[in-house]
Structure 1
Amino acid sequence: MIFESWLQQLFPFNLFCLFVFFLIENSALVVLSVLIGKMLEPENTFLKNKDRKWVLSTLLCNTFITLIGFELYRYGIMKVDFSASIKLIIFDTLLLILLMDLFMFIFHFLVHHLKWLYPIHKLHHTHVETNVYSLYVLHPIETLGFGFIWLFLITILKFNYLSIIIYLVLNLSYGIFGHLKKDIFPSFWYSNSFTKWISTTKFHNDHHKNESQNYGFYFTIWDKIFKTMI
């Protein structure tokens, strides 16, 4: 596989070179998300001076997580499936999204309800009115927490590489859309039997306005089950 071969070409590089490479990669994703934010909400996409260090620290933490993930793969601890089975890709993608949403829901709920964790998460909630930069205003401990959940899941379970890529694209997209000021989802989304279970911009915006509700990320199902949904 081309992607597998490309990853193996990175094997000879030392940790410093890999960190720089992944830093460039993650920086490009930050720039891309900001550009999308500016396209969708140009007047709302601005970076406050006090948030610059947090955006930078989140970038560095994400780079560190990427590096650890690569090292786990390089040393054979993390197994990745490189087959082209459509059924497997669909199954793995759905499973990965569902499990990550559940684990992140639990983590998100805990950082709100454990007294020793909430001061860490409180930083993110300094953004009551959100924009795309809110996605990166996180305490390093929280960023690493989400990152280690991700690494744990894709290490204990073997996922298809395309499923991993699809999930990462979806995760970034929902991070952007979830922190916009204006809801970009159509009105039917909230009443349709299928789409009403999928999170929206308004769903996460409501969480920033009422921190005791709406802890889910991609789906509303966990909040409905645990009765934490507005």
Structure 2
Amino acid sequence: MTDGLLTWAARLGPGEVVAGALAVNLGLLVLALAAGGLLVRRYGERRVTPPPPPPDRRELLLSATAVLLNSAVGVAGWALWKAGWIRLTADTGLRAVAELLVFTLVMDGLMYGGHWAAHRRRLYRLAHEMHHRYPDPRPATLFVLHPLEVAGFGGAWLAVLGLHEISAAALAGYVGVNLVFGLLGHLGVEPFPARVRRWAVFRWIALPMFHAGHHADPAVNLGFYTTVWDRLFGTVDPAYDTLRAAERPVLAGGRPVA
């Protein structure tokens, strides 16, 4: 099946690829907003950041820009694949799962480094400050990024793809992983109950409250998918493990949670 999809993708024209990329990225935005809205309503009693104010015009504009730029990255990836700079295979099964795991961990390290750099004073003022103007996240905040950050993430993604071949299934899986972690980290609520948050695996896999903690205190929790790099470089919130085990976690930052 994957082989057939790759053959089909290779036959597409540029116009079809542009339309398809726009449709996919718009669909991801709608899915994130719909799923996020359901989770916020379902777990509203577990809010870990104060409720955000109504969205403003800038949020809507930045979200639309992110969709357009992500679509452009997708088109660029297709062009690089057609030119042979990116190599995709039709592998599935355990091999694809292993490739997904490795690719996610590599991107996790790169994104941590990029996020750390984005918090240096000049870069922060240039771009990343835009995201932190919304300290009380909502699902749409995932897409509220400065265009330079969207382009930077897309460029890093394409660069890693150019270094080693990967299965199309693993690549599609990573798109899903990135959306899920990004969405959960911007809910403003913690959907997992305390008994689950206490599992040993969640010492290393980032919970929704991990990135929410970064919005509450931008000096900590710079990672995205795991807590590995924050623990290694000392940027994890010192109270994080205590908070994730609490029945009702209250994040750093000193602001009351409704």
Same fold (TM over 0.5): yes
For residues 24-43 of structure 1, the aligned pairs below 5 Å read: 24-42=23-41
The partner residue of 1:211 within 186, 196, 218 is 218
Q: In structure 2, what residue type is equivalent to 1:217?
A: F
Unaligned runs of 5+ in 2: 45-50, 238-258
Match of 2:228 in 1: 221
For residues 1-230 of structure 1, the aligned pairs below 5 Å read: 2-42=1-41, 47-84=55-92, 86-230=93-237
Decide whether aligned partners of structure 1 residues 116 and 175 sit closer, same or farther in structure 2, where only a CA change above 3 A counts: closer
Distance 1:50 1:160 in 2: 37
Decide whether aligned partners of structure 1 residues 35 and 198 sit closer, same or farther in structure 2, where only a CA change above 3 A counts: same
Runs of 4+ in 1 over 6 A off after TM superposition: none
Number of residue pairs matched? Answer: 228
- Please state how far the C-alpha of 1:81 moved relative to its aligned partner: 1.9
Q: Is 2:222–2:235's contact at 8 Å kept on the other side of the alignment?
A: yes
Distance 1:120 1:198 in 2: 27
Unaligned runs of 5+ in 1: none
CA RMSD of aligned residues (A): 1.9
Q: Identity over the aligned pairs, expressed in percent?
A: 25
Offset from partner CA, 1:82-104 (integer Å, 9 cap, x none): 123x3312221111111110000
Q: In structure 1, what residue type is equivalent to 2:73?
A: I
Offset from partner CA, 1:162-204 (integer Å, 9 cap, x none): 2111111111011111100111123234433222111011111
Q: Is 1:61–1:140's contact at 8 Å kept on the other side of the alignment?
A: yes
Distance 1:30 1:111 in 2: 24
Distance 2:11 2:100 in 1: 30
- Please state how far the C-alpha of 1:77 moved relative to its aligned partner: 1.2
Distance 2:17 2:175 in 1: 19
Q: Is 1:189–1:196's contact at 8 Å kept on the other side of the alignment?
A: no
| Greater relative CO, 1 or 2 (CA 8 Å, sep 6+) | 2
Decide whether aligned partners of structure 1 residues 95 and 177 sit closer, same or farther in structure 2, where only a CA change above 3 A counts: same
Q: In structure 1, what residue type is equivalent to 2:226?
A: F
Distance 1:114 1:148 in 2: 22
Distance 2:227 2:195 in 1: 16
Offset from partner CA, 1:126-149 (integer Å, 9 cap, x none): 111001010010011100101111
